[in-house]
Amino acid sequence: MTQPRGSAAKSAALSAALSGAVDLSALKARAEAARKQPAPSAGPPAPSGDGPPPSGEAVIDVTEATFQAEVVERSLHQLVVVDLWAEWCGPCKQLSPVLERLAAESGGAWVVAKVDVDANPRIAQLFGAQSIPTIVAIAGGQPVDAFSGALPEPEIRKWINSLLDALRDKLPGIRDAAAGGAVEEPEDPRFTEAEEAFERGDFAAAQAAYERILDVEPANELAKNALAQVKFTARAEKADPDARAKADADPSDLTAQLDAADLEIAENQVEAGFKRLIDVVRRTAGEDRNKVREHLVALFDLFDPVDERVMKARRDLASALF
């Protein structure tokens, strides 16, 4: 399900997988059953989910017991963006603060529903999340769009805005926020410049723009991820379209092998692309082996580090090298 981070294809593939395929009734039943159990101690009752959702909250922590009220029923009034995260997830620590800040700025048009997947694995299973962070937009009680991986803030803002535009006439919370005159924070012009260059196919300009950001902010993970995506896309578009046939016909053709792996990754044949290069590492030595190894490691950087395919390929690469 996970494709290279930052790609439009990734969001589309995940959204298509969710469309009409996620049944929230199982968690609804589980939550309702939990609410019928007597409270373990005195205190405020658990939310019943009846009536309109609470107002003024931009970020809410969600469990299996509160999922029905805080996500499904809330989504009948406003857009709910489910953030599947974990404490050990590095990209989550980059992405979550961006989502939370944008939600706070929205004037109540949407909220972030944070789900710790370690504490609530059934919710992650419900959405078929194969890696984290995975972000799922819920409206009208159903998933409407999704992406995985840490995207740059301008891409996230654009994604949210497109959802709000599409749902403005359907959810009262969005209409109310619009009527309240919530003001959008201006986009970061540095990322806007890079994105616009990427969209018009000027990969050299996009690369230069992201590199300028990193010159000033070397630890900016969003710029690093975007830069890796730009470099890969530029290389994949230049790849020989017949590379796979040439590589299969002549295993010693190193250029064909590298191009073929890029094409396979671009088409989401991730395991095939990784395996191809690991096999080349096994049968080469010296500079050729190092060139293939560096190419493969650069491909790993396109994905979430905890993606199972990446972790397996890293193990296989270590075995091939040593």
HSE (side-chain half, CA atoms, 13 Å) at 39: 7
Query: Is 3:273 a contact under the CB 8 Å cutoff?
Result: no
Catalytic residue among 71, 92, 117, 124: 92
Is there a cis peptide before residue 40, judged by omega within 30 degrees of 0? no
Please state, in angstroms and rounded to a whole number, the distance separating the CA atoms of residues 7 and 1. Answer: 12
Range list of β-strands (E), 96-195: 110-116, 134-139, 142-148
- Residue 92 annotated as catalytic: yes
- Taking the C-alpha atoms of residue 99 and residue 106, their distance in angstroms, rounded to an integer, is 11
Measured at the CA of 142, the angle between CA 131 and CA 159, to 5 degrees, comes to 60
End-to-end CA distance of the chain: 31
3-state DSSP assignment of residue 112: strand
Choice among 14, 24, 71, 89 that is catalytic: 89
Distances (CA, A) of 4 to 80, 91, 100, 140, 228: 25, 14, 24, 29, 9
Q: Is there a catalytic annotation at residue 107?
A: no
Please identify every residue annotated as catalytic.
89, 92
